[in-house]
Amino acid sequence: FGVKQDDANLEMRNLQEKHLAPIMKKLEAIVQEVAKEKGVSVIMPNTAVLYFDKSVDMTDDVTAALNKKTK
């Protein structure tokens, strides 16, 4: 049973990498574009920050740009 579970987990990771990599590449390009437009030089995930002023949150801007480019 353990071997089958390991194989299934490996297959799942491979599928995630295969399908998520192109999406993440597009998202990264859009994040960089929005950051340049706003004059931002560093972007960090909110999970890596203890506190930040919500006025610097670019989530809505990135989401709007992503929606615009994927339609």
Residue-range definition of the domain harbouring residue 15: 2-70
Neighbours of 39 (CB within 10 A): 6
pLDDT digits (tens, 9 = 90+) for 10-63: 999 999 999 999 989 999 999 999 999 999 999 988 889 999 888 889 999 999
How far is Cα 31 from Cα 47, in angstroms, rounded to an integer?
17
The domain tally of the chain equals: 1
**What's the number of CA atoms in the CB half-sphere (13 Å) around residue 8?**
5
The pTM of the full predicted model, rounded to 2 decimals, is 0.71
pLDDT at residue number 1? 84
Where does residue 16 rank: exposed (0-12), middle (13-18), buried (19+ CB within 10 A)?
exposed
Rounded Cα distance between 25 and 33, Å, is 12
